[in-house]
Structure 1
C-alpha cells in the first residue's frame, strides 16, 4: 500500500506531531514553515494543513492528490475555491480560533474611541494635558453586530457585561444567546439608525463586497462609531473617508483595508476620529494551539474514519 502524505506548512510542537502520527499512522507527515521543507512533497499530498499561494500550482495543476485542506486562517476568500470545488476537495477553515482575540480588539477599539484613549496617547507624546472633550460612555448603548458567527457571539456576550442592547445581523436570521434582536441582511437599513456602534465581522463574499457605502453611513447616527475587523472590501473605503470627513459618523476603528499595508497617503492615517490597526485583531499567543487542538485533530479523527462531516466545513456556494 502506497504511503499517504500530509503537509503541515507551519511550525508546530513535537507533541502535536506525535499526536498526529498516532492518529494517522498510514501518513508520512512533513511539517515546517520553510518552503524548502514542504515544496518537494506538494504534488503528492493528500492532506494539507495551512494554505500557501504557491500550492495552487504545486498541488492543484495536473492530477491532484489533494483530498482535504485545513486552512490556517478563518478567511478563505483568497483561495482558489472554484478549483477546490471542481476537484471535490474538502476545505475546512479555522473559524472560531479568533473569537477571543478579535472580540477583545473590537472592545479595545470601541472603548478607545469612546473614552478617547487614542487622543490621550497622542497628547502624551506631546506632553499636552487636555480633557479633549471626552464625555461618552459605552454602557447601555446599542451595538449592531453584522455577522453573528463565533466572533459575533463572543462580542455579544461581552456586550451584555456593559449592559448593552445587542442587535444582530446574520444570513440565517436564527436567534442566538445574548442577541436581543436578530435580523437578516435585507433589514440592515432598518437597524443602522438604531445603533451607537456598528461592528462588521463579515467574511468577504459576493454578497458582502461593498455592503457598506455612502447610503449606509448616511443612515447611521452622527454619534455612531464603525468598527471593521472583517474584510476591508466589505466597506467602500472612499465613501467611508468622506463620511468621516463630513462628520456623518463619529469615528471608526479599522483593522482591515482594501489595500494592505495601508498606503501612506491614505487620509485614514491622519484622522483624529479613526484608530488604525495593521490587520492584527486575530493575533494571539494561543493561535497554533486552537487550530491544532480545537479544529484539526478533531477533524483528523473523523477523516481517518472516513467521516467527512468536519468542523468548519466550507460551503463553496456561500464562500465561507
Structure 2
C-alpha cells in the first residue's frame, strides 16, 4: 500500500524529485500551509512543515501521522504536548540557518564597530561627518549564548577577526571554536567581560525572559547586545532601560517579543538600535538545506523507523 508524505511548503520540481527518490513506496503531495487540505492531511504518515488549523486532523486518534519535519528550527508554535502524547516523531530544521544568520550577526557587529549605522544616516542627510569613534573587531570578546550550529559558526568566523570567543550552554561542555564555555547558570558571570553579547537561544521555559535587568547590569558598560534567537528570551523593557542608561552602547535585533513590532514602539526611534524584521535566517538556499535534512532523515526513518538528524527532545522543547 502506498504511503503518503504531504509537504506544506513550496518545493521546486528538482527538490520534489529528490524527496521522491529518497522515499520509495511513498507519494509526495504539496499543500498550502495557510489553507491546508484536511482530507489530504488525514492520510499523511509524514508531514513536512505545519498547517494552520491542521492539528485536529493530524492529531486525532486514528491519524496515520508518524513523523513531522518542521520547516524551521524553532518549534514553539507547534502543539508539542499533543505531539508528545501521541508519540509523533518531530524533527526541526536546525542547521539550515547557520551561514545566513552568522552573516547578519557580523553585519550588526561591523556596523557598530565601524559606525556604519550613523554613516548611513549621515549620507541620507548629506552630512560629511565622523565622530572619530570607529573601532574594530580584533581583540574584542564575543559571548555567544547557544553553542549549536549558529553559535559555533559565529565563533568560527569570529576567530578570523582575531576575537575571543566565550560560549554559554546548558551543559557548559567544551565546543570547538570557543576559548571557554560557561553553563547557562553562569550567564551573569560570562557577560561581564563581553564587548558583544550574542543571543542565539530558542524559546523554552528555561530561556523565557532570560536576558533581563540582572544580566544587562552585569555587562561591561558600553557592550552591544545582539538577538537573533527568539524575542521572548529578552525582557524588552529592561533592554530599553539598559540602552537609554548607556549600560549598553547598542543593540542589533532581528526578533522581538511582539511581531510585527508595533509602529509606536520606542525601539523604532532609538539611533543606537539596528533592526531587521525577523529575516536573519532567510536565504534563497533555505529550501535546499531543509530538503537535505529531509533526505537524510528519510533514509534513517526507512532503515530504523526513526529520523537521525535534529530529533526534538520534547522535554527540552527543542
Q: Which runs of 5+ in 1 are unaligned?
A: none
How do residues 53-132 of structure 1 correspond to structure 2 at under 5 angstroms?
A: 53-132=52-131
Determine whether 1:228 maps to 2:227: yes
Structure-2 residue corresponding to 1:6 = 5
Structure-2 residue corresponding to 1:311 = 309
Change (3 A) 1:89 1:152: same
Structure-1 residue corresponding to 2:198 = 199
- String of CA shifts for 1:241-300, please: whole Å, max 9, x gaps: 11111111111000000000101111111111100110010011110111102x100101
How do residues 32-47 of structure 1 correspond to structure 2 at under 5 angstroms?
A: 32-33=31-32, 38-47=37-46
Structure-1 residue corresponding to 2:162 = 163
Structure-2 residue corresponding to 1:270 = 269
Structure-2 residue corresponding to 1:251 = 250
1:39 CA displacement? 3.7
Q: Tell me, what secondary structure is at the counterpart of 1:199?
A: strand
Q: For residues 19 and 270 of structure 1, what CA distance do their matches in structure 2 show?
A: 47
Determine whether 1:298 maps to 2:264: no
- String of CA shifts for 1:43-75, please: whole Å, max 9, x gaps: 111100011232212312453221000001000
Q: Tell me, what secondary structure is at the counterpart of 1:124?
A: helix
Structure-2 residue corresponding to 1:216 = 215
1:125 CA displacement? 1.0
1:309 CA displacement? 4.7
RMSD, matched Cα:
1.4
Change (3 A) 1:309 1:288: closer
Comparing 28-37 and 83-92, the one that deviates more: 28-37
CA contact (8 A) 1:12 1:32 kept: no
Q: For residues 38 and 112 of structure 2, what CA distance do their matches in structure 1 show?
A: 45
- String of CA shifts for 1:62-93, please: whole Å, max 9, x gaps: 53221000001000011110001000000000
Q: For residues 204 and 179 of structure 2, what CA distance do their matches in structure 1 show?
A: 26
Q: Tell me, what secondary structure is at the counterpart of 2:248?
A: coil
- String of CA shifts for 1:132-169, please: whole Å, max 9, x gaps: 34322211111000000000000000000110111000
Q: For residues 174 and 30 of structure 1, what CA distance do their matches in structure 2 show?
A: 42
CA contact (8 A) 1:119 1:132 kept: no
Determine whether 1:29 maps to 2:28: yes
1:36 CA displacement? 5.7
CA contact (8 A) 1:94 1:291 kept: yes
Q: Tell me, what secondary structure is at the counterpart of 1:169?
A: strand
Q: For residues 196 and 35 of structure 2, what CA distance do their matches in structure 1 show?
A: 46
Change (3 A) 1:72 1:136: same
CA contact (8 A) 1:200 1:230 kept: yes
Structure-1 residue corresponding to 2:180 = 181
Structure-2 residue corresponding to 1:261 = 260
CA contact (8 A) 2:143 2:165 kept: yes
TM-score, normalization: structure 2? 0.96
Q: Tell me, what secondary structure is at the counterpart of 1:227?
A: strand
CA contact (8 A) 1:9 1:38 kept: no
Change (3 A) 1:84 1:34: closer
CA contact (8 A) 1:30 1:37 kept: no
Structure-1 residue corresponding to 2:285 = 286
